[in-house]
Structures are given as C-alpha cells and as structure tokens.
Structure 1
Amino acid sequence: MFLPLSAAALLLLAACGDGQPFVFPEEEETTEEDSGEGPGDSIRRSEERDADEGGFVTAVQYDAASDSFSVDNIPFDGDRPYERQARFDSLNGFALYDSVGSFGDDSVVLDPETGARIRQFDYRAIYGESRDTTRVDGQLQPRSRFAIIRTGDYRSYGFGGFLYERNGGVEIPKDGQAVFSGDYAGIRVFDGGTGLEYSSGDVEIAVDFEDFTEDDGLRGVVYNRRIFSSGGRELAVLGPNDPLNDEALVAPPLTFDVGPGVVQSNGEISGTASSTRELEDGGTEVFEEGTFMGIIGGEAQEIVGIVVIDSTDPRYEGRIKVRETGGFIVYR
C-alpha cells in the first residue's frame, strides 16, 4: 500500500512558500521560568540530547521552490538538501524526505583531496505545518509546525532529533472545555537491529480549562495507529504469536495520562503516555511507554506536538527494542 501526496499536503507545503527558516538555538531546551516566554510569545522546542544519540538536530529549513529540506548537525547525511521520497512521499498529509536521493545518487560523498567515496547514512524526515498562518515581525508564518529526523542505519536508535514550534502567542480560555482532532505521523527506529518504519494515526485531545486548581486538565489518545515499511507497505505490528490477532494491522492506542501540571500558562503541554496489550489469560500489560509534549496556539485553536514512545518489539521475541517518534497537529 503506497500513500499518494494528498491535497492537504499540497496546501500544507504551499503555506511555506517563502522558505522561512525553522531554526533552533544550539543550547538545550529551556523552560518557561528561565526563558521568559509567556502567552504572547512564539515558542520553539527541540529534543534534548541523550545517550541514544537523540537531540542532535538544531535547525531545519524547507525550500518550497525545490521542495527540499535542509538539516543541520547530523553526521554523514550527504552534502545536498534532503529530497522528497520517491513514490512514498507523504504520510497522513505530512511530507516525507530522505537524505540519499530518489535513486541513491547522494548516498556517497567524495573526498575532495583523493576522490574516495564516503558512504552516507540514509536519514528520513517528516515535516508538518499548520493549515493556518500568522504574522510574526511582519512575516507570514505557519501558526505551528514540526519536524522529525531519524535514521535506521545504526544498530541503536542512532543520531536524530525533533523540533516543534508555535509562531505567535496564545489566548488560553478561563473556563469551559475544548476538543481537538487531527493527524499523526511517526518514524520508528530500532535498538538491536537496523531498519526504519513509519506510523500513522488519528489524534484527539480534550482540555478542561477550569480544572485543576493550579493547571488545566488534559486527556488525549493516538488511535487507529498503523505501521508501514520504509517503502510504504503496511505491516502487522504485534507479531505472529500475539493472542489478540496474529495479523493485527492496528497498533494499540497511545493514551495520554491525565493529571495536574500538564498545561502551562504559556500554552505548553507535557506528560506521560502509554499503551497496553491483552494477554492470553485475558489480562493486560503495558506495551509502550513514553512522553508527549506540545504547544497550544492562537485563540486555543490548535495544538502542535510530539510523542516519543519505547517498547520491546513483539515481532522479534524480545530481542529488539523500538522507539517511535511521532508528530501531530490538531484543531478545534
């Protein structure tokens, strides 16, 4: 199953026609308290660096004229911008790019002194923009956007990162509740094996702006989650011995944990997320665990966010771990 470029994706990319940079500073992510950011400010966040080679992406830029995608601070990703993937060029309305080119022409870089061929890693990128725009310092910008970059060429999770931002401020309601819905797309890489997969799904997030006493309440779920090979073929996700269904094509839903402190006054959200799977005896166990993070934008009209979730891959009898990094933009 190959997913064609949708009309929504064409509109999404056209919104960034001036090629404005999606740039992040070198320093680690800051919090509201030490950044001075408030409800009226744009906010930019990137993955923190960790022992799994995550958080090395510091800037990306989309060029609408060439439909290309440039990434900074990633080793051995070629000497040209990332190109739109051949055939499998979008997923759930979000654009897909790779660093080695449609025919592998960029899979090597030449040593300028000797002409020796240096093999490059195959990095993949997902890029998403809001359907809405806003003006910041006189320039028209997407209200929010995200980018995820990973590679499956390591036998660990490998170098990569994610970035997400809100342009302009936010007006958080003082009361009432709201529900947001939209699309999700992710990249899956492995620890203990090589290769790369994609995921897609639907997202629903509800916010109670009156509770809790100190912070607003939030719940969310990523559902209808499906897994694809790097070329776009849909895959079974739970393994041949799973008691639920040995041909299961839908992964368990990811549920955001409800609790205080999830929504900050500047519109940022963060918390933990997990999924469960059924056991042969009828019980359940935790299948995936991780975190979600995001930013509410505009007049509380949309949320951009990232989910990072880890699990032991049941298809390989516990020998391989998988990390899924997904992005979403949801609207009221």
Structure 2
Amino acid sequence: MNRFFVATAAVLVLAGCGGGSNPFADPGTPPDPDTVTPASAIKRSEPTSTETAYIGNGYASNIRYNAKKDTFTVDNLAFDGDNEYSRGTKVRSLSGYNVYEADQQFTDPQNGKPVNQFTHRAIYGVSKGGTGRTEFAIVRTGAYADYGFGGFVYQRNEGVTLPNSGQAIYNGVMAGLRDFNGAGGLEYSSADIEIAIDFNDFNASTGGRGDAVSGTISNRKIYDINGKDITSTVLRRIETAEGISLRSYPVATFTVGPGVMDKNGEMLGQVQSFYTDSSGTLRPFEQGKYYAIVSGDKADQIVGVVVLENSVDPVADTVRDTSGFIVYRD
C-alpha cells in the first residue's frame, strides 16, 4: 500500500511507501468476546482499515511504557527513530497526561550520516496515583498528506461490578492529537468531559444490559505542535470559510440510545457536534465515535478514546481529533 509523505520544508507531496514495565501488551488481537466477563481485564485497540483515507489506522503495536526511563516504545511505525519515544520537549504534558515524541534523526550505523525522521507524537494516560487500574495511549504522525500511520489502545487492568439500578456521573479531562486528510501537520487538543450512565434504563431486550450513556465534551482547546494555543486562529478560519460566527469550539455530545454498553462494561457509541449557519439552521460540525470501558468494584472509573472528524475546517479535506480520557465517579 502507498502513502503520501509531506516534505515539511517545501510542503511537497511525494509518493512513499526496551525493557521496563509493559502495561500495554500487543493490542493487535482483542480478547475473544466469549471469554470476556465482568471480572476480566480488557484491552482494546484501534482497528485497521482498508479505506483510502484511513489506511494506517491501528498500525501502532507493542506499545510499552518504561517507568524508570519515562520513555515509550512503539513498534510497526516507519521512520520513528529507534522506536523509543522520549518525554516531549516543547509539550511534556497535556491535561495531566504525558506527551512523548520520536527522535527527529536516526544515524546510519555504517556511514554515520543522519536520516531525517517523520514527526510522531504519543499521549499516555494512567489512572490517578499511577495505580494503573486504567490506561490509554494514542500515537499519530503529521508526516503524511492524509492521516498516516498510528493507532490507539485503551484498557482496564481489573474487573467491574456494574450496578443494576440508579445513575452515576463521571468527570475528567481529555488530551488528543489532531491529524489531517489532505494536509500534513499535527496539533494537540484538550477538553473537559462528563459522562453519565443510567443503570435503570433502557430496558435490556436481548438478555444483556440496556444502560443509557450520555456525555458532553466542552471547553475545547487546540494547540500547535509547540504547545501554543491556536483555538482562536482555528475558529477564525472556520468562520471565514463558512460565513458564520463561533464563540467557542462547539460542544460535542454522545448520542443517547439503547445498546451502547454490554454486561462487561464496554461501551461503543456515536458522538457529534453542531454549529448554526448564517441562515440559523443547525448543521453537523463533527461526527465520530467513543470507545470506553467501565472499571472498578464500585464502577468508579471509565477509560476510553473519542475519535471525531470534521470537514468544516478549511485547513484540510477532513480533520481528525483522537482524544483519550479517564473519568472518575468521585
């Protein structure tokens, strides 16, 4: 398969083709659904895709975090140095989650000449206190003219006891990476997230669970690769392209309906945001999905990833935001 590499200096599109702890074992094969139970640890990863704009999804594998060295190892991504990512220089953390970056150059061992590497960034989140009850990692690159190769993984390392009645509310923050289909480059994002679960309704119709899940993603910010807040710049270019006025980056919400959570505490659902055009009509801004797992004997944590796309921002054909979160039922 071919990808298209963007030479950073000239923006020229070219045809292209460790030790320590390991909280993320190779995520390539999720647990067999028949063997997963509420008591199971669960690990999930971004699926691979054969769609043209999405080829490269799910390629990141064997993701390892070395706590002693504070480094990240990621396999199966081309031109990311020696696969070991160091703590970020310009951006070390975002929303309390750690940021890592691949080496910018790799030395040819035969002639000592430097080989320029692609821009890769990784975000790693672990539950409060570094307990490792829940974790996520996201890896993206801005070196391709479309989305490029990368991936995400999220997991719980314990079981869950889901209530059979009542409701619960969870709060936390998100950190993400924005990449582009139709342009090179990489940006960061942050947001607040609130998730609520109704354990009473909807009623289960297939012998499983019918729990309803709602969520709100707000206070959204965008940063360039050096950590500068560029939210207002992004908003202005969207306003100019669409002839609209945006006071802030639109709030995204979960679609509420039955069948989004199973008996093991895994959730998969739709997310969307909207804007009002010049005629006062409400129009879609972003669409995407959330992937999450509830954890704990009191169902007190949720770990997950949200992937949202929009074609409103004129910077590219489509813009993708991949954000991870851990929220708590304090």
TM range (shorter): 0.7 to 0.9
In structure 2, the residue matched to 1:324 is 321
Q: CA separation in 1, counterparts of 2:214 and 2:250?
A: 17
Confirm or deny: 8 A CA contact 1:223 1:254 kept in the other structure.
yes
User: Residue type of the partner of 2:98?
Assistant: A
In structure 2, the residue matched to 1:46 is 45
In structure 2, the residue matched to 1:86 is 89
- For structure 1, list consecutive stretches of 5 or more residues without a partner in the other structure: 1-17, 101-106, 134-140
Deviations 1:153-204 (A, max 9, x none): 1101000000000011000001000000001111000011111111100010
Confirm or deny: 8 A CA contact 1:92 1:200 kept in the other structure.
yes
Confirm or deny: 8 A CA contact 1:46 1:58 kept in the other structure.
no
CA offset at residue 118 of structure 1?
2.4
1:200 aligns with 2:196: no
Question: Among 66, 71, 75, which residue is 2:74 paired with?
Answer: 71
In structure 2, the residue matched to 1:294 is 292
In structure 1, the residue matched to 2:219 is 224
CA offset at residue 120 of structure 1?
1.2
Q: CA separation in 1, counterparts of 2:20 and 2:300?
A: 24
Q: CA separation in 1, counterparts of 2:90 and 2:59?
A: 28
Confirm or deny: 8 A CA contact 1:311 1:321 kept in the other structure.
yes
Question: Among 260, 268, 280, which residue is 2:278 paired with?
Answer: 280
1:245 aligns with 2:245: yes
Q: CA separation in 1, counterparts of 2:189 and 2:250?
A: 12
Q: Assess, with a 3 A threshold, how the Cα gap between structure 1 residues 199 and 271 changes in structure 2: closer, same or farther.
A: same
User: Residue type of the partner of 2:179?
Assistant: V
Confirm or deny: 8 A CA contact 1:186 1:327 kept in the other structure.
yes
Secondary structure, counterpart of 1:82 in structure 2: strand
Secondary structure, counterpart of 1:39 in structure 2: coil
Secondary structure, counterpart of 2:220 in structure 1: strand
In structure 1, the residue matched to 2:10 is none
Q: Assess, with a 3 A threshold, how the Cα gap between structure 1 residues 31 and 210 changes in structure 2: closer, same or farther.
A: farther
Q: CA separation in 1, counterparts of 2:273 and 2:307?
A: 12
Question: Among 254, 257, 281, which residue is 1:256 paired with?
Answer: 254
In structure 1, the residue matched to 2:161 is 171
1:126 aligns with 2:129: no
In structure 1, the residue matched to 2:21 is 20
Confirm or deny: 8 A CA contact 2:201 2:212 kept in the other structure.
yes
Q: CA separation in 2, counterparts of 1:328 and 1:312?
A: 24
Structure 1 length normalisation: TM-score? Answer: 0.84
Deviations 1:112-138 (A, max 9, x none): 3444432211100000000157xxxxx
User: Residue type of the partner of 2:159?
Assistant: G
Question: Among 134, 139, 150, which residue is 1:160 paired with?
Answer: 150
Q: CA separation in 2, counterparts of 1:328 and 1:171?
A: 20
Deviations 1:8-32 (A, max 9, x none): xxxxxxxxxx952033336444562
Q: CA separation in 2, counterparts of 1:189 and 1:126?
A: 14
Q: CA separation in 2, counterparts of 1:244 and 1:58?
A: 42
In structure 1, the residue matched to 2:177 is 187
CA offset at residue 108 of structure 1?
2.3
Confirm or deny: 8 A CA contact 2:175 2:189 kept in the other structure.
yes
Q: CA separation in 1, counterparts of 2:321 and 2:212?
A: 25
User: Residue type of the partner of 2:123?
Assistant: I
What value does the CA root-mean-square deviation take over the aligned residues?
Answer: 1.9
Q: CA separation in 2, counterparts of 1:306 and 1:48?
A: 13
In structure 2, the residue matched to 1:103 is none
Percent identity reads: 41
- For structure 2, list consecutive stretches of 5 or more residues without a partner in the other structure: 1-18, 205-209
Query: How many pairs were matched up?
Result: 296
Q: Assess, with a 3 A threshold, how the Cα gap between structure 1 residues 305 and 49 changes in structure 2: closer, same or farther.
A: same
Confirm or deny: 8 A CA contact 1:132 1:143 kept in the other structure.
no
User: Residue type of the partner of 2:88?
Assistant: Q
Q: CA separation in 2, counterparts of 1:208 and 1:19?
A: 40
Q: CA separation in 2, counterparts of 1:80 and 1:270?
A: 31
In structure 2, the residue matched to 1:15 is none
Confirm or deny: 8 A CA contact 1:98 1:125 kept in the other structure.
yes
Q: CA separation in 2, counterparts of 1:259 and 1:313?
A: 27
Q: Assess, with a 3 A threshold, how the Cα gap between structure 1 residues 113 and 19 changes in structure 2: closer, same or farther.
A: closer
Q: Name which of structure 1's ranges 56-65 and 174-183 shifts more when overlaid on structure 2.
A: 56-65
CA offset at residue 109 of structure 1?
2.0
In structure 2, the residue matched to 1:5 is none
Confirm or deny: 8 A CA contact 1:24 1:46 kept in the other structure.
no
In structure 2, the residue matched to 1:9 is none
